[in-house]
Amino acid sequence: MMNRRSITRRAAVAATTVLAIGLTACAPAGEGSADGDVTLTWWHNGTGEPLLGFWEDVASEFEEANPGVTVEVTAYQNEELQRTLIPNQLRTGSGLDLYQQWGAGELAAQVEAGYVKDISEDVAGQVDALGGVVAPWQVDGATYGLPFNFGIEGFWYNTELFAEAGITETPTTLDELYEAIDALKAADIVPIAVGAGDGWPAAHYWYNFALKSCSPEVLQTAQADLTFDDPCFIEAGELLEEFIATEPFQDGFLGTGAQQGAGSSAGILATGGAAMELMGQWNPGVMGGILQEETGDAEATPPEFLGWFNFPAIEGAQGDPTAALGGGDGFSCSAWSPPECSDLLEYITSVEVQTRFGEIGAGVPVTPGSEAGIADPNLQLVFDGLQSASYVQLWLDTAFGATVGGAMNEGIVSLFGGQGEPASIVQNMKDAAATL
């Protein structure tokens, strides 16, 4: 048995190596050559500007400050990077040093397989400085990566359409949100755009209801043990069912994508086709990109009518009313990376680099002291929301990992489509957890 296993494993490694070399044409990195020179291979998902150029600048600055170190930085499309390239490359045990990391469930699986370097000691200072936002990049108390971008979700809304419907204040409770929906419908405006065709944007409604129905302790236990027995999870589905019954979404939302083109939910909001969209901190950037494509104007910016408010509190619910749902992007060092990897990661999360990250408007920087850099007023709103949230729960599909997360999202979308029940979402999650 042992032999057969090692043969199949070797065959697997050989095949993936051939593929990896063929696809990326990169030499094994991270190994110091005879004269002490070091090459760091760094993969991220910033395929578009301004992030692409920004990371290239950061790489060359690090090279200049560290003679003998070469940083080979490459951007790959997000899903391709996350689901295919990184797992394949990690399996070969070489060729990748610093890579994009979304934390929690996925990180835990990589740590368990022995692919990620424990950098707790190397970046102890940064961990202290960053505080709670590092939690998704920690497993069993040890740090396996650092975030550079962390934000929370909320409703992005069209201030002009709100004014047209006579809504003067943003909703702070679920009842007020229902009133706003009624007012918008009365003014013949589609209240909310949702990209249920992609699954996760619809699922985020359930996440928010779960966040407001379940106590932080229940959510943390659920994340650690993948147990979903608390009745608050079914309650979240019941709240969602009531919400869907008010028909707040655009026609055909089951077939709408989230972020590509004018027909996507972000595009519908950006072009004034709906008044709100529940989405993460990246939404203004996505809308700016869609408007650039639609208008052919390379200088097009996110719409000026945008406003932002956190998902409203629910009267009488068990959860923390000021809790927020969010997540971020980080980087991890592979287990075989040279010591310079954590140095680079430390540089990326330095106040100086983070301030510039805020300035280019690509996300919300995490290092205290870099807030001043946040130039985009929309990102400032997200940052303020993050500051005033008492508890931040990581996106549930990231927190529970891809297997449970995928099953959970599928169950939620079924509820959106009028199939299934609140209890079947929880059953889906339990069934998926049982296959792990």
Partner 1 sequence: MSISTVGAGPAVSAGPAPLAPPSPARRARKRSRGLLLTWGFAAPALVVYATFVLVPVGLAAVYSFFNWNGLGDLDRFIGIDNYARALADPVFLGAMRNNALIVVLSLLIQGPLAIGIALLLNRPIRGRTMIRTLIFVPYVLSEVVAGLAFKLLLPPDGPFDGMLTALGWVGEKPLWLADPDIAFWTLFAVITWKYLGFAIILMLAGLQGVPEELSEAASIDGASWWQIQRHITLPLLGPTIRIWAFLSIIGSLQLFDMVFILTGGGPLNSTETMATYMVEYGNGRSQIGYGSAVAVILFVVSLVVALLYQRFILRRDLAGAITKGG
Which residues, 64 to 83, sit near partner 1 by CB under 8 A? 83
Cβ 18 to partner 1, closest distance in Å?
A: 6
Helix (H, G, I), strand (E, B) or coil at 42: strand
113 contributes a contact to partner 1 by CB under 8 A? yes
Helical ranges in 25-123 per DSSP H: 51-65, 78-79, 86-92, 104-112
369 contributes a contact to partner 1 by CB under 8 A? no
Q: Nearer to partner 1 by C-beta: 84 or 159?
A: 84
Of 32-40, 129-137, 213-221, 399-407, which part binds partner 1 (CB under 8 A)?
399-407
Of 56-64, 66-74, 299-307, 409-417, which part binds partner 1 (CB under 8 A)?
409-417
Q: Is cis: bond before 50, omega within 30 of 0?
A: yes
* Count of chain residues binding partner 1 (CB under 8 A): 44
Long-range contacts of 30-35 (CB under 8 A, 24+ apart): 30/94, 30/95, 30/96, 30/97, 30/334, 30/336, 30/337, 30/338, 30/341, 31/94, 31/338, 32/338, 35/68
Cα dihedral sign for 281, 283, 289, 295? Answer: negative
Which tokens belong to 256?
């709408």
x-or-dash string of contact with partner 1, 85-104, rule CB under 8 A: --x--xx-------------
β 38-44/98-101 pair status: parallel
Cβ 43 to partner 1, closest distance in Å?
A: 16
Which residues, 242 to 301, sit near partner 1 by CB under 8 A? 250-256, 261, 263
Going by C-alpha positions, the residue among 391, 395, 351, 392 that lies closest to residue 373 is 351
Cβ 37 to partner 1, closest distance in Å?
A: 31
Among 5, 35, 299, 316, binds partner 1 (CB under 8 A): 5
Cβ 368 to partner 1, closest distance in Å?
A: 34
Q: How far is CA 125 from CA 15, 131, 143, 212, 346, in A?
A: 41, 10, 12, 33, 9
The three-point CA angle 102-365-390 to 5° equals 80
Q: Nearer to partner 1 by C-beta: 110 or 337?
A: 110
Among 54, 55, 102, 115, binds partner 1 (CB under 8 A): 115
Going by C-alpha positions, the residue among 307, 326, 378, 318 that lies closest to residue 160 is 307
Residue carrying structure tokens 């295919």:
84
Among 238, 391, 402, 430, binds partner 1 (CB under 8 A): 402
Distance CA 255, CA 327 (A): 26
Cβ 362 to partner 1, closest distance in Å?
A: 26
335 contributes a contact to partner 1 by CB under 8 A? no
Cβ 297 to partner 1, closest distance in Å?
A: 20
Instruction: List interacting residues with partner 1 (CB under 8 A).
Output: 5, 8-9, 11-12, 15, 18, 83-84, 87, 90-91, 106, 109-110, 112-115, 196-199, 250-256, 261, 263, 401-403, 405-407, 413-414, 417, 419, 435-436
